[in-house]
Amino acid sequence: MFVSDCLNINPIGHLTIGDRDTVELAQTFGTPLYVMDENQIRNSCRSYHQSIEKYYGGKGLVAYASKAFCCKAMCKIVAEEGLGLDVVSGGELYTAMSVHFPAEKIFFHGNNKTVAELTEALEYGVGCIVVDNLTELEVLNQLAISMGKKADIMFRIKPGIDAHTHDFVRTGQIDSKFGLALETGEAMEAVKLALTLSHIRLIGLHCHIGSQIFDIEPFEHAAEVMLHFMAEIKKKTGTELKKLNLGGGFGIKYIPKNDPVEYDRYMKNVSLVVKKTCKELNLNTPFVVIEPGRSIAGPAGITLYKVGAIKDIPGIRTYVSVDGGMADNPRYALYKSEYEAIIANKAGQPKDMTVTIAGKCCESGDLIGEGMQIQNAAPGDTLAVLATGAYNYSMSSNYNRIPKPAVVLVNGKEARVIIQRETFEDIVRNDVE
Ligand SMILES: Cc1ncc(COP(=O)(O)O)c(C=O)c1O
């Protein structure tokens, strides 16, 4: 009925997440409030883990892309489920380290890692640094020499795939700030250089073709392109790379018309292409890594708000204002991302109102969505925006000096705070008079 399995309606007509009434959660923990369902997160981790095991026979790893939602509790859950972790900054790595995330299962990404971040990654002994460019390669080699370490790396490659997604999240094509291009010879040049560097061990290749993708074909095509490049590397250098990281990007259901592919079907189809292509190219099947972020965290989360002013502009639109907005969910302002919203205390009622949901920031573009269907709203209602578990908390800001909301993790009937609500003291903590 809803975009996520963890959501339901209880006998008094309130929206539930896990076994908790969302209206009660809003009263207990305040609004705005992010709520995540632990079982939904764990089930997604398990589905991915089981299907990678099934189709790659133990030669695969699912690394959760922590940019989607990162905190200590999330890193712990992911580690307990046996997944690896994709981090893209010193802050994400620090969070993982603070819960002793197994270092060998960490992939360190980023198109402009700082020396401090690379040093931290080498000190912690992360399993793989995904090198984006030649400058980074040289810096990393020098650092590794000075620290007496050898860095295991992959190169981020642009496979040149247009994954039919939003421009701002499409990253596989040549005009991208991420990675090395195949067409220009830049990628081969980097490979050849890496193979000569004393403190670098090139273990594989990586690509990530975009986000919120619903088709399997772009992933299959990317795998083929990457394997052809591996074959070319073998031919030109004699080195056969052992690992292939195909990135993340699997689409989720934000609104009813979204139709995501089942993980298992994705894994099956892509694994068939990988095996067939390896056979054709006379390569051993590499160890395959995938990096889902949104599809693990997104469906598990909702955001609860309190409805405030309602402004009806006759013949134009009705604004329903909530006590949050672009500071806790900038995705509509950034990408016009669509969401489903529900009046949590009237969840069983029909959606009779078409509204624009506005936030409280001093910005006309501070909207959660336009043309949204919701139940008849009144000031004081609890509004739930669904599937906000990914790229909401992690992209939130303190614009207008608004403290970030708390994150509550629900497991059945239990609910516990995993990130505390920021206070005004937190807001001024680093100010110097
Ligand atoms: C390198 C890399 N891996 C994985 C992901 C996760 O993508 P998604 O959350 O769409 O699965 C991203 C997202 O930007 C990424 O850049």
pLDDT for position 427: 98
- pLDDT band for position 160 (cuts 50, 70, 90): confident
Does 220 have pLDDT greater than 70? Answer: yes
> For 322-335, what is the mean pLDDT?
97
Residue bearing the CA closest to ligand 1, atom 16: 208
Q: pLDDT tens for residues 4-49? A: 999 999 999 999 999 999 999 999 999 999 999 999 999 999 999 9
Binding site membership of 65 for ligand 1 (Cβ less than 6 Å): yes
Q: pLDDT tens for residues 80-124? A: 999 999 999 999 999 999 999 999 999 999 999 999 999 999 999
Q: Using omega within 30 degrees of 0 as the cis cutoff, is the peptide bond preceding 299 cis?
A: no
Q: Is the distance from CB of 35 to CB of 28 less than 8 angstroms?
A: no
Position 342: which residue type? Answer: I
User: Within a 10 A sphere around the Cβ of 431, how many other Cβ atoms?
Assistant: 6
- pLDDT band for position 170 (cuts 50, 70, 90): low
pLDDT for position 169: 55
d(C-alpha 149, C-alpha 141), whole Å: 9
Phi, psi at 104, each rounded to 5° = -65, -15
Q: pLDDT tens for residues 128-140? A: 999 999 999 999 9
Does 407 have pLDDT greater than 60? Answer: yes
Tokens representing residue 425 in the block: 């003291």
Query: From start to end of 22-132, where are the E strands?
Result: 33-37, 60-65, 84-87, 106-108, 128-131
> For 377-405, what is the mean pLDDT?
98
- Ligand 1 center to residue 86 CA distance, Å? 9
- pLDDT band for position 3 (cuts 50, 70, 90): confident
- Ligand 1 center to residue 10 CA distance, Å? 35
Percent of the chain with pLDDT over 90: 94
d(C-alpha 21, C-alpha 31), whole Å: 14
- Ligand 1 center to residue 294 CA distance, Å? 8
Does 172 have pLDDT greater than 80? Answer: no
Beta strands at 301-313 and 317-322: parallel, antiparallel or unpaired: antiparallel
Nearest Cα residue to 264 out of 14, 55, 87: 55
Binding site membership of 345 for ligand 1 (Cβ less than 6 Å): no
Does 168 have pLDDT greater than 70? Answer: no
Catalytic residue among 6, 71, 75, 362: 362
- pLDDT band for position 166 (cuts 50, 70, 90): low
Binding site membership of 293 for ligand 1 (Cβ less than 6 Å): yes
Q: pLDDT tens for residues 234-260? A: 999 999 999 999 999 999 999 999 999
- Please enumerate in sequence order all residues whose Cβ is within 8 A of that of 286, keeping only pairs 6 or more positions apart, or say none: 59, 204, 227, 230, 241, 242, 243, 244, 274, 278
- Ligand 1 center to residue 19 CA distance, Å? 30
Q: Is 362 noted as a catalytic residue in this protein?
A: yes
Q: Of the residues 66, 70, 86, which should be mutated to test ligand 1's pocket, given the most ligand atoms within 8 Å of the CB?
A: 86
- pLDDT band for position 163 (cuts 50, 70, 90): confident
Binding site membership of 48 for ligand 1 (Cβ less than 6 Å): no
Name beta bridge partners: 63.
84
Name beta bridge partners: 7.
17
Q: pLDDT tens for residues 197-207? A: 999 999 999 99
pLDDT for position 190: 98
Residue with more model confidence, 205 or 173: 205
Binding site membership of 243 for ligand 1 (Cβ less than 6 Å): no
> For 400-421, what is the mean pLDDT?
98
- pLDDT band for position 277 (cuts 50, 70, 90): very high
> For 282-297, what is the mean pLDDT?
98
Binding site membership of 292 for ligand 1 (Cβ less than 6 Å): yes
Percent of the chain with pLDDT over 70: 97
Does 294 have pLDDT greater than 60? Answer: yes
d(C-alpha 82, C-alpha 50), whole Å: 11
Query: From start to end of 12-121, where are the E strands?
Result: 15-17, 20-21, 33-37, 60-65, 84-87, 106-108
> For 275-297, what is the mean pLDDT?
98
pLDDT for position 171: 57
